[in-house]
Amino acid sequence: MTDRNFDYSNYFQFNYNFDRGENQINLDFHSHRLYEIFLVLEGECRYHVESDKYCLSKGDLLLIDSMEKHKFEEIENTSCYRLTLFFTPKYIAHFTSAYTDLLSCFKNRSEEKWRILHLTERELKDFMHIVNQSIEKFHSSVFGDDVISLTHFIKALIYINRLYYNVSSPTIIYSEKCKKIKDYIDTHLLEELTIQKISKAVNIPVSTVCKIFKRETNNSIYSYITGMRVLHARSLMTEGRSATESCYLSGFKNYSNFYKRFKSVLGVSPKEYRSASF
């Protein structure tokens, strides 16, 4: 593994690593305040982001928003050579214009435009050429090369955004039954939800509902519901609502449970998150 991190004028943080996965390390779910770009260069792996599970191969590129829970997973007896890039969104935002938002591919998500891209051989070669130019200058101590490194990194973000708006659908692997369960929860997230209610709505026995969901998402239904409610509360807080308001508008019945789950999912308290956002 190769990695390096630096702080550019106390604003720009850029970290990269190339990893062949020789040690077969699978990290648990985690989140951070950086934006992350994950690219498979060779081999295959699985990757979990929130409740979604992806099976990735060469050329697949994932865009991970700040504070999204994610987890890399090795496939047994299969190697995976990958590149991971992390950066601080607040600093990159300074380089956006009225016509070009460099963070657009991370922020403007919908069912049609999601978090995965597949790069062709040519696109992979072109993208890595830009990234390697950034990394080469990043290691230099010559005057001005740190700025050139940043310039190439911005070019890489422009390249990704151009590809992003030509992409249609993600490669998420769920069975029809699991998709049915997940769709019902997502649609009724802010309502009162119980396993029995979900089971009845999707016409699948209670025990089967729990087993299917846990097997395919790596999450219990309870954990998924409260986790998604936390993310909904986070969005409300980002829009300016108070932590207490966001708690009850997101389906939680009491603030104590909300506080514990928020800190468990995002690693900070609601108050700390809101203070950092404004």
Q: For residue 184, what is the domain's CATH number?
A: 1.10.10.60
Percent of the chain with pLDDT over 70: 86
Same domain for 191 and 137: no
Same domain for 270 and 196: yes
> Are 56 and 84 spatial neighbours (Cβ–Cβ below 8 Å)?
no
> CA-to-CA distance for 45 and 47, rounded, in angstroms?
7
Burial bucket for residue 49 (CB in 10 Å: 0-12, 13-18, 19+) = buried
> CA-to-CA distance for 16 and 31, rounded, in angstroms?
16
Packing angle between helix 270-277 and helix 221-238, nearest 10 degrees? 40
pTM, entire model: 0.63
> CA-to-CA distance for 27 and 36, rounded, in angstroms?
15
User: What is the phi-psi region of residue 272: left when phi exceeds 0, alpha when psi lies from -120 to 50, beta otherwise?
Assistant: alpha
In a domain, 169, yes or no: no
**Over the chain, what is the mean pLDDT?**
83
Instruction: State both tokens at 121.
Output: 């051989």
In a domain, 170, yes or no: no
Same domain for 152 and 14: yes
Same domain for 85 and 182: no
Same domain for 97 and 38: yes
pLDDT at 216: 83
pLDDT at 25: 52
Residue at which a domain ends, from 164, 193, 208: 164
pLDDT at 231: 83
Same domain for 272 and 217: yes
Same domain for 38 and 121: yes
Sequence-ordered list of residues with C-beta below 8 angstroms from that of 137, at least 6 positions apart, any chain: 145, 146, 148, 149, 152
Over 90: is that where the pLDDT of 208 sits? yes
Domain that holds residue 154: 2-164
Over 60: is that where the pLDDT of 26 sits? no
Same domain for 112 and 65: yes
pLDDT at 4: 52
Same domain for 140 and 92: yes
> CA-to-CA distance for 104 and 163, rounded, in angstroms?
12
pLDDT mean over 200-228: 90
Residue at which a domain ends, from 113, 129, 164: 164
Percent of the chain with pLDDT over 90: 38
Over 70: is that where the pLDDT of 162 sits? yes
Over 50: is that where the pLDDT of 29 sits? yes
Range in 48-57, 113-122, 159-168, 195-204 the model is least confident about: 159-168
Write phi, then psi, for 229 (nearest 5 degrees).
-65, -35
Geometric angle at alpha carbon 12, from 10 and 16, rounded to 5°? 125
Same domain for 150 and 75: yes
> CA-to-CA distance for 154 and 36, rounded, in angstroms?
14
Domain count, the chain: 2
In a domain, 97, yes or no: yes
Same domain for 142 and 182: no
